[in-house]
Amino acid sequence: MLEAPQLGDALCWLGSAAAAWLSACALYRLLTGLRVWILGNGALVSPAELGAWAVVTGATDGIGKAYAEELARRGFSIVLISRTQEKLDEVSKAIESKYKVQTKTISADFGCVDIYPKIQAGLANLQIGILVNNVGVSYSYPEFFLNVPNLDNVISSMININISSVCQMTRLVLPGMVERSKGVILNISSASGMYPVPLLTLYSSSKAFVDFFSRALDAEYKSKGVIIQSVLPFYVTTKLSKIKRASLDIPTPERYVRSQISTVGLQNQTNGYLPHAVMGWVTTALLPARLVSNLVMKMGLSQRARYLKKQKQG
């Protein structure tokens, strides 16, 4: 048994070691944060480094359109994939006119399962340096699972669009990247996939799949020169979020995309934007999971009540 002075010395050493460890961890996080959010890695995302073409799904609105424009600005030729040919033509002409790059359009409804042979044919013989799996769909409003309107259709549609599209597009594009030992795949998940979000249960779960799929795939293929990154934004001013006014914590798609691209190659899982990274750290590392779930549930119930009230008034 240790005598009192010896016990005091042991506790002193233990405390010093713990303080040193915590200090080292804090310093590491600080330096990592500076590397990611101040210096960035934006130069990596270029045709010279990755390949001539960028492929973007859900490319005619919101974050997808912002990716298409930003990648065109960086010199990539762009393959735009979305459902409506008229919108595709409009975005294609605008990008070609403004950025003087080549574009190609593929009209495809990701809610269907028979579209991938057509997409594969459209991508044939292209040197694809970057794939942005952005297409996604959410609920019309927060709702209890069994009360979701047209639930059967919502289930199949959300699985096809949010999950199957990521797997299938990766299947089509990844072999060429592995063969050339370079390429980037950005899978746009959501902060809703970082923890369970009640009243958006199916959406939250589908985005959690995208996150896990991306990180596991990155571990498989990073030694082969391919970067697969899970991107988990909080709110951005898009049609999906139904938010129109930007603020510090709710950026425009353009501002978000410029920030996110600088994290490529530095994080395999990223919130993409510094205020979102802080929010992600608070909600997953500082706050108890039960508290986060309760808070999110209350927010969902409030949004649900406002939506249903508006529907009755309308």
Greater pLDDT, 56 or 17: 56
Query: Taking the domains of the chain in order of start, what are their residue ranges?
Result: 44-312
Residue 84 CB coordination number (10 Å): 12
- Report the CATH superfamily, name and number, of domain 44-312: NAD(P)-binding Rossmann-like Domain (3.40.50.720)
Those residues whose C-beta lies under 8 Å from the C-beta of residue 190, and which sit 6 or more positions away, are 136, 203, 204, 207, 210, 232, 233
What's the pLDDT at 26?
61
Distance CA 43, CA 169 (A): 25
Position 7 confidence tier, pLDDT thresholds 50, 70, 90: low
**How confident is the model over 131-141, as a mean pLDDT?**
96
pLDDT at position 59 over 60 = yes
Residue 58 Rama label (left phi>0; alpha psi -120 to 50; beta): left
Least confident of 34-43, 148-157, 231-240, 250-259: 34-43
Alpha helices in the chain (DSSP H): 4-34, 47-50, 62-73, 85-99, 116-123, 151-158, 165-180, 201-221, 253-261, 274-281, 289-313
Residue 51 tokens, joined: 């390949």
Distance CA 45, CA 47 (A): 7
Which residue in the list 203, 235, 256, 273 is annotated as catalytic?
A: 203
**Model confidence pLDDT, tens digit, residues 274-299:** 999 999 999 998 899 999 999 999 99
pLDDT at position 6 over 90 = no
Q: For residue 54, report the phi and psi dihedrals to the nearest 5 degrees.
A: -120, 135
Contact (CB, 8 A) for 65 and 254: no
Mean pLDDT of the chain: 92
**How confident is the model over 4-31, as a mean pLDDT?**
67
Asked about 139 being catalytic, the answer comes back as: no
Task: Identify any residues that bridge with 23 across adjacent strands, giving them in sequence order.
Answer: none
**Model confidence pLDDT, tens digit, residues 115-134:** 999 999 999 999 999 999 99
What's the pLDDT at 41?
85
What's the pLDDT at 32?
67
Q: Residues of 28-61 as b/e, b for ≥16 C-beta within 10 angstroms?
A: eeeeeeeebeeebebeebebeebbebbbbbbbbb
Distance CA 245, CA 131 (A): 29
What's the pLDDT at 2?
47
What's the pLDDT at 22?
65
Those residues whose C-beta lies under 8 Å from the C-beta of residue 161, and which sit 6 or more positions away, are 110, 111, 135, 136, 137
Q: To the nearest whole percent, how much of the chain has pLDDT over 70?
A: 91
pLDDT at position 28 over 90 = no
Distance CA 13, CA 158 (A): 55
pTM of the entire structure? 0.90
- Give the CB-side neighbour count of residue 241, counting CA atoms within 13 A: 20
What's the pLDDT at 140?
92
**How confident is the model over 260-265, as a mean pLDDT?**
96
Residue 4 CB coordination number (10 Å): 7
What's the pLDDT at 244?
83
List of long-range contacts for 202-209, beta carbons under 8 Å, 24+ apart: 202/139, 202/145, 202/148, 202/154, 202/155, 202/158, 203/137, 203/138, 203/139, 203/158, 203/162, 206/158, 206/159, 206/162, 206/163, 207/136, 207/162, 207/232, 209/162, 209/163
